[in-house]
């Protein structure tokens, strides 16, 4: 990981921690409930991939026969998360998932929708299993962490896309940004003209 990418990741983490309200207590809350939350693993994994494999736009992302491998990856991610095993390397990995998403054609729309699905399933399990105050505390910790994950993956997608573009085409990021700014200004003007008509 380049110095520039690492600096960007650290800055992104600080923004996300501040904006979501994440604290170092959140992984501890998850770890203290791991025996309970690990019982929910299969429900969450199955619901997640049932959704993806039965929805045509997401189903076509996968190769024939790869569902067991993908399920194991999600299982490992969920169990690591709910054990509270979260450190700098774990956050770094989440950011690089964005690069994998670029390669696989996983849009941020799919990412956001499916993280929402995981959060809803987790909330349902919290409410079914725990007293209200405990459910609120556990879900709050899970939601803050998974919101940071969503932000990192989306940011990694965007940032790594530009890094790859810079490396392949040879344009500097600043030049690409100036070109984009010019085109976005044109598009905004078109939109204003359309809505004013």
Confirm whether 181 is domain-assigned: no
Position 131 confidence tier, pLDDT thresholds 50, 70, 90 = very high
> What is the DSSP track for 162-190?
HHHHHHHH---HHHHHHHHHHHHHHHHHH
The CA distance from 96 to 160, in Å, is: 8
Task: Give the tens place of pLDDT for each residue, 141-183.
Answer: 999 999 999 999 888 877 777 777 777 877 777 777 788 788 8
Is a pLDDT exceeding 90 seen at residue 28? yes
Confirm whether 179 is domain-assigned: no
Domain count, the chain: 1
Place of tokens 């990856």: 73
Confirm whether 183 is domain-assigned: no
Write down the pTM of the prediction.
0.86
Three-state DSSP state, 140: helix
Confirm whether 177 is domain-assigned: no
Copy the structure tokens of residue 186.
């044109």
Full domain range(s) for residue 73? 3-171
**pLDDT for 1:** 67
Kindly report the CATH number assigned to the domain that includes residue 149: 1.10.490.10
Task: Give the tens place of pLDDT for each residue, 59-69.
Answer: 999 999 999 99
């Amino acid at each position: 990981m380049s110095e520039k990418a690492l600096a960007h990741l650290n800055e992104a983490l600080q923004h996300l921690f501040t904006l979501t309200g994440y604290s170092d207590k959140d992984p501890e809350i998850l770890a203290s409930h791991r025996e309970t939350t690990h019982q929910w693993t299969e429900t969450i994994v199955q619901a997640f991939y049932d959704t993806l494999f039965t929805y045509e736009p997401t189903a076509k992302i996968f190769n024939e026969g790869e569902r067991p491998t993908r399920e194991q990856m999600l299982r490992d991610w969920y169990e690591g998360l709910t054990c509270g095993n979260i450190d700098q390397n774990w956050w770094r990995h989440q950011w690089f998932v964005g690069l994998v998403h670029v390669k696989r054609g996983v849009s941020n729309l799919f990412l956001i929708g499916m993280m929402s699905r995981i959060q809803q399933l987790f909330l349902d399990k919290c409410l079914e299993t725990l007293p209200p105050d405990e459910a609120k505390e556990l879900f709050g910790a899970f939601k803050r962490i998974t919101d940071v994950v969503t932000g990192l993956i989306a940011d990694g997608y965007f940032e790594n896309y530009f890094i790859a573009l810079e490396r392949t085409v040879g344009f500097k990021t600043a030049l690409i940004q100036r070109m984009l700014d010019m085109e976005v200004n044109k598009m905004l003007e078109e939109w204003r003209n359309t809505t004013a008509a």
